[in-house]
Structure 1
């Protein structure tokens, strides 16, 4: 087994998608989902090549990659954005090799974050690498718009690239590191960026259809207003999806249950050197 870097090319982005779909038994992606996945892969391959790797069977020369890991470093925070191995290669040391190389990219980082699935093998590897596993919830269903609470007087408006300095400031307050140009990738692939900036605090949320892709704020009050506005803007034809909610994000649980969403457990937020950031709902792709 050999490793090679993931390159910023359409071919490598396609290979990453193929491994992801095979590993997680995901049906063919719609055009927009494929484009969003490719933006993520190419952004990380360009910015974090030392943390993005394919595992390839050296007996097959330039054969099809069997696994992939995509990781990033942002201001002292390391994150694992994707870790997947094809079913036929699982249990053969491929995952351990990929994770070890991804973790090598974390050298010098005091904090680490992984939005993890409920795969017990992956959870065991993360725990062995020093990560604490925080079970997470997912809220899904149709929004009862008659039950939407008021935003508490916090004005929320549409944002754009001129707000990136504000977003980075909120990131540093909420999770200890800015996202930097990851915000540009999120803005390209999401429907809306919502921003709040008041004396009560600041924050932002990205919405894609009925899914809240990421939310960060400097206070629970602002986070609550952003989540309410994001749910209110969800198209009535779309099912709502709010993911990676830890027990510390009870403000989000309160809002989601109030509007009729169903709660279930789903995976873990794996953290090293930090407590669950709050108020914060991470993105699996950019953490």
Structure 2
């Protein structure tokens, strides 16, 4: 371990960090694969470019939260975190399978938690025993998450009214809603998400929003009440192409389970939402990397 340096990430580390990330999460996906699921595959070239683009964004916005563990010229571990007002979140974290159990993960986590500087925190966690032990010892509560997958039964889709496409003009009230639900606004993250996804909003007395990716999957949803949240999720499901995915569902967000079941989706378990010094946000479906 003495030859491994834990230091702040620089832009030149991004290609090596992406390769390490691909290995880490492919190994995790294969280990946790359900019998009915297809064999996980390495990240596509396009997926690798998207990963590097996201990490470059984090590096530009909050570079002090981005750390790597390096052995000579190769990244063997990474921890990318961000501070947004009173909230700290961990966007991604991992150590190469062959280098786990050597204290590298602890050094990385210590570095990003030091960057948090006492802020409340939130991130999406795998079920890896070593990682979850470190999270709990660091004071995080681990809330089991569910996910729902399958093909939407389109005969179940209700008529939803009062929604429209969103724009940057909505960011102010969206940040105020974020503050109510998670203690801090997404800030510049909203513009990044809007650049890459469709935004649907409800501007009624009980507002809400959802970002929908190019496959019609909801990737971040926040609302002032359960009815608005359900309408936004139904709208996202109406956009779904072939199989869809609704994930990061905690028990505080059973409204999403009800919508998914009504749409004919199957439910399963998927990791934890880790929170520290804050309640589990609801009605809210987190994004794995922007939380």
Using structure 1 for the length normalisation, give the TM-score. Answer: 0.91
1:32 positional shift: 4.0
Tell me the distance in 1 between the aligned counterparts of 2:176 and 2:219: 19
Does the alignment pair 1:115 with 2:121?
Answer: no
Aligned residue among 182, 193, 203 for 1:197: 203
Stretches of structure 1 that go unaligned for 5 or more consecutive residues are: none
Does the alignment pair 1:185 with 2:200?
Answer: no
Tell me if structure 2 keeps the 8 A contact 1:75–1:177: yes
1:96-140: per-residue Cα shift (whole Å, max 9, x none)? 00000010011041x110100111111111000000000000000
Count of residue correspondences: 274
RMSD: 1.4
Alignment map for 1:52-131 (pairs within 5 Å): 52-57=66-71, 60=72, 63-109=73-119, 111-131=120-140
Tell me the distance in 1 between the aligned counterparts of 2:174 and 2:57: 19
Tell me if structure 1 keeps the 8 A contact 2:24–2:96: yes
Cα gap change, 1:35 to 1:134, in 2 (>3 Å): same
Using structure 2 for the length normalisation, give the TM-score. Answer: 0.90
1:16 positional shift: 2.4
Cα gap change, 1:239 to 1:13, in 2 (>3 Å): farther
Task: State the partner residue of 1:148.
Answer: 157
Tell me if structure 1 keeps the 8 A contact 2:24–2:97: yes
Task: State the partner residue of 2:36.
Answer: none
Tell me the distance in 1 between the aligned counterparts of 2:46 and 2:192: 14
1:188-218: per-residue Cα shift (whole Å, max 9, x none)? 222x11111102x111101111421100111
1:15 positional shift: 2.2
1:174 positional shift: 1.4
1:146-176: per-residue Cα shift (whole Å, max 9, x none)? 012343x5x1111122221122122112111
Aligned residue among 43, 59, 64 for 1:45: 59
Tell me if structure 1 keeps the 8 A contact 2:79–2:112: yes
Tell me if structure 2 keeps the 8 A contact 1:36–1:189: no
Tell me the distance in 1 between the aligned counterparts of 2:230 and 2:7: 43
Tell me if structure 2 keeps the 8 A contact 1:210–1:239: no
SS in 2 for 1:157: strand
Task: State the partner residue of 2:7.
Answer: 4
Task: State the partner residue of 2:211.
Answer: 206
SS in 1 for 2:184: coil
Task: State the partner residue of 1:231.
Answer: 237
